[in-house]
């Protein structure tokens, strides 16, 4: 057979194969492009949700109240669907259609989380009958509603001998304990901090070799006056609410939805002792945990479920063990100082590892159920919704920050069905004060990250400030005009905050501050930081407190 004939046969055979192969490559490329495009759209919508939550809480003096927080989260969920619909509009999907492909949104808060997903509106018989006979009623019994499900705490139950307690964890080292131990009923809460020496006579504490006491009166600029809208007011923050003193009125006020509310009591002006109270009460809490409640020997293996049975290991969809409460290790949860010198409040402590495991267990177990249950609400969508495997770096962000977790599943992207998720966190909010939330100001009008290489040798150190206080806020004047202002006037350091090129690579801020505290300037940096960290954490809203009793501690 001639070579020409062989060539023709080869072309006849190979050409269809090559065309099919090229078509397959093109389809795969389009699928990957759609995958990346949908990932970007989902990230944008999730970022819109967290930004809406940050903006709403930053400009609301009631953001810690439950009803107000629910309002802010629902507004954030609406922002998510608005941004998602705008991005998908050119693809032919509208907002209502896209909701069917979003099985759940998760909003992680300070000591628990909300899941935004469909559920059946279950009402008691009397209420159901009343609504059934009311044609204008907004909701009806057994009606499918998409909204926030009840708040779920980061809680875990422990049983050991005479100990039966439920411990609620948070995004920092604050815990709440409820239950019984050694015949005593416990209903207590506090921060876990080691090595605090209290001098009550001088009203100072020593922590990690640094002396902490009262600090000077705090001030903020408020844009609520006439131009230039930057009048400075003395203030104090108590249980999440800032109270300002108006010298012209000789009265205290708070901002409530942009309006001044005067006659907020006879709060003491002068030195602020929040940081001193933070460390002093933590030392007292340590004494109660170890001596009064005798919880020092409580271990992860003592964790049980609601029926009192040992808590099963947390696994992924491939049955790989993520965290085994029973066989995790023979260590005490409340080990204030470990054998290698690690303190309980440090990020690599046994307590912190267990805290994150409990939070992850609570989120992952409840979210898996919510996604599985969504299959009964999906309507005509031909897709089986299930929990995807989240990357470990995403879990690291979730377990230490306020976050929004979103899911988008079931959209056809050519070669397969889209199954994506997005995790966007926010470290500038009113919910939690992390170790990275404190910046140090200098007298030249700038603020610096605590890891700035300039700080240990700076001669113009001023004080530590909560990062949220540098963010822009707005206020509506009586005539309806909108004005913007910054509570703290300093600008971000160009090297360490804007460009972030002059920061020390630090994974444990406590060890870093120990290292620089060998000099007097470094010790002052540590003192300013620990003072601000204690002040801001102590002044945050806590469910456990009685607000009026707590406020009375600071009245004259």
Contact, 248 vs 226, CB < 8 A?
Answer: no
Contact 384, 365 (CB under 8 A): no
Using pLDDT thresholds of 50, 70 and 90, give the confidence band for residue 339. very high
**Looking at per-residue confidence, does 102 or 183 come out higher?**
102
Measured distance CA(350)–CA(166) in Å, rounded: 18
* Cis peptide, bond prior to residue 228, ω within 30 of zero: yes
d(CA 196, CA 205): 7
Q: Cβ(446)–Cβ(421) under 8 Å?
A: no
pLDDT for position 199: 97
Which of the residue ranges 49-58, 135-144, 291-300 would you say has the lowest mean pLDDT? 135-144
Per-residue pLDDT for 55 more than 70?
A: yes
For the cut 60, the answer to whether the pLDDT of residue 64 exceeds it is no
pLDDT at 170: 97
Given a cut of 70, is residue 128 above it in pLDDT?
no
**pLDDT score at 312:** 80
Q: Tell me which of 71-80, 85-94, 189-198, 432-441 is least confident.
A: 85-94
**Pick from 25-34, 201-210, 349-358, 387-396: least confident:** 25-34
Owner of token pair 């809208």: 229
Residue 486: strand, helix, or coil: coil
Q: Percent of the chain scored above 70 by pLDDT?
A: 87
pLDDT of 63 strictly over 50: no
Q: Is 466 part of a structural domain of the chain? A: yes
DSSP annotation of 311: P
Query: What single DSSP character describes residue 91?
Result: G
Q: How many CA atoms lie within 13 A of 77 on its CB side?
A: 23
Given a contact cutoff of 8 angstroms between Cβ atoms, the answer to whether 423 and 390 are in contact is yes
* pLDDT level of residue 230 (50, 70, 90 thresholds): confident
507 occurs within a structural domain: yes
Model confidence at 33, in pLDDT bands (50, 70, 90)? Answer: confident
% of the chain beyond a pLDDT of 90: 58
CA 504 vs CA 396, 452, 519: distances in Å: 21, 6, 17
Tell me the mean pLDDT in the region 325-330.
Answer: 74
> What's the number of CA atoms in the CB half-sphere (13 Å) around residue 427?
12
Band (156; pLDDT cuts 50, 70, 90): very high
pLDDT tens digits, residue range 531-544?
Answer: 999 999 999 998 88
Print the domain residue range for 449. 434-539
What pTM was computed for the model?
0.90
pLDDT digits (tens, 9 = 90+) for 7-20: 666 667 766 776 66
d(CA 199, CA 113): 38
User: Where is average pLDDT lowest: 96-105, 256-265, 348-357, 505-514?
Assistant: 256-265
Per the model's pLDDT, the better-predicted residue between 63 and 126 turns out to be 126
- Residues 223/216, Cβ–Cβ less than 8 Å: no
DSSP per-residue string spanning 343-406: BTTSTTSHHHHHHHHHHHHHHHHHHHHHHHHGGGT-TT------PPPPPHHHHHHHTTSEEEEE
Task: Look up residue 25 and give its two tokens.
Answer: 């490559």
Does 134 have pLDDT greater than 70? no
pLDDT at position 267 is 94
Cα 527 to chain centroid distance, Å, stands at 26
The SS3 of residue 207 is strand
Whether residue 506 is contained in a domain is answered as yes
In a domain, 132, yes or no: no
User: pLDDT tens across 399-426, in order?
Assistant: 989 999 999 998 888 778 899 999 999 8
Number of domains present in the structure of the chain: 1
pLDDT at position 454 over 80: yes
Per-residue burial over 156-169, b if 16 or more Cβ lie within 10 Å, else e, is: bbbbbeebbbebbb
Across the range 464-480, mean pLDDT stands at 86
Residue 470 counted as domain residue: yes
Reduced to 3 states, what is the DSSP secondary structure of residue 503?
strand
Q: How many Cα atoms are found within 13 Å in the side-chain-facing hemisphere of 413?
A: 21
Residue range 139-157: mean pLDDT, rounded: 82
Mean pLDDT, the chain, whole residue set: 87
| pLDDT number for residue 500 | 92
Residue 497 lies in a domain: yes
At residue 114, the 3 state secondary structure works out as strand
What pLDDT is recorded for position 488? Answer: 94
- Cβ(125)–Cβ(113) under 8 Å? no
Residue-level pLDDT at 479? 75
């Amino acid at each position: 057979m001639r070579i020409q004939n062989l060539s023709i046969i080869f072309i006849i055979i190979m050409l269809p194969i090559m065309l099919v192969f090229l078509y397959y490559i093109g389809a795969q490329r389009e699928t990957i492009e759609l995958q990346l495009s949908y990932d970007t759209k989902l990230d944008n919508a999730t970022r819109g949700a967290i930004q809406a939550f940050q903006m709403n809480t930053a400009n609301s003096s009631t953001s810690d109240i439950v009803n107000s927080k629910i309002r802010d989260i629902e507004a954030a969920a609406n922002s998510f669907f608005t941004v998602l619909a705008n991005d998908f509009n050119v693809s032919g999907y509208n907002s209502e259609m896209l909701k069917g492909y979003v099985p759940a949104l998760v909003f992680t808060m300070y000591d628990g989380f909300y899941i935004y997903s469909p559920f059946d509106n279950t009402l008691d018989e009397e209420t159901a009958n009343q609504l059934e006979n009311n044609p204008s009623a907004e909701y009806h019994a057994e009606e499918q509603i998409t909204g926030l499900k009840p708040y779920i705490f980061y809680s875990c139950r422990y049983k050991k001998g005479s100990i039966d307690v439920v411990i609620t964890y948070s995004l920092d080292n604050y815990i709440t304990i409820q239950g019984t131990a050694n015949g005593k009923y416990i209903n207590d809460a506090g921060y876990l901090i080691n090595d605090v020496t209290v001098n009550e006579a001088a009203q100072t504490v020593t922590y990690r070799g640094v002396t902490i006491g009262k600090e000077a009166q705090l001030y903020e600029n408020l844009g609520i006056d006439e131009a230039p809208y930057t009048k400075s007011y003395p203030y104090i923050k108590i249980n999440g609410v800032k109270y300002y003193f108006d010298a012209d009125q000789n009265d205290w006020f708070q901002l409530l939805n942009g309006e001044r509310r005067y006659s907020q009591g006879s709060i003491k002006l002068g030195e602020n002792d929040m940081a001193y109270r933070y460390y002093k009460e933590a030392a007292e809490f340590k004494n109660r945990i170890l001596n009064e409640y005798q919880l020092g020997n409580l271990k992860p293996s003592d964790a049980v479920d609601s029926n009192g049975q040992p808590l099963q290991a947390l696994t992924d969809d491939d049955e790989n063990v993520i965290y085994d409460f029973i066989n995790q290790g023979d260590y005490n949860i409340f080990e204030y100082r470990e054998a290698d010198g690690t303190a309980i409040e440090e990020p690599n402590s046994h307590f912190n590892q267990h805290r994150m495991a409990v939070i992850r267990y609570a989120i992952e177990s409840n979210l898996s159920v919510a996604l599985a249950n969504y299959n009964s609400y999906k309507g005509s969508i031909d897709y089986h919704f299930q929990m995807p495997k989240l990357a470990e770096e995403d879990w690291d962000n979730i377990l230490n920050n306020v976050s929004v977790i979103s899911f988008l599943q079931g959209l056809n992207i050519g070669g397969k069905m889209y199954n994506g998720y997005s995790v966007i966190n926010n470290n500038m909010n009113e919910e939690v004060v992390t170790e990275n939330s404190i910046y140090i100001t200098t007298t030249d009008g700038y603020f610096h990250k605590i890891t700035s290489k300039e700080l240990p040798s700076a001669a113009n150190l001023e004080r530590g400030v909560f990062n949220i206080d540098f963010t822009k806020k707005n206020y509506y004047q009586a005539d309806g005009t909108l004005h913007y202002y910054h509570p703290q006037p300093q600008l971000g350091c160009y090297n360490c905050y804007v460009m972030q090129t002059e920061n020390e690579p630090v994974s444990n801020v406590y060890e870093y501050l120990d290292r620089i505290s060998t000099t007097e300037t470094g010790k002052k940096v540590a003192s300013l930081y620990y003072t601000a960290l204690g002040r801001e954490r102590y002044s945050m809203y806590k469910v456990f407190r009685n607000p009026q009793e707590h406020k009375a501690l600071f009245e004259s």
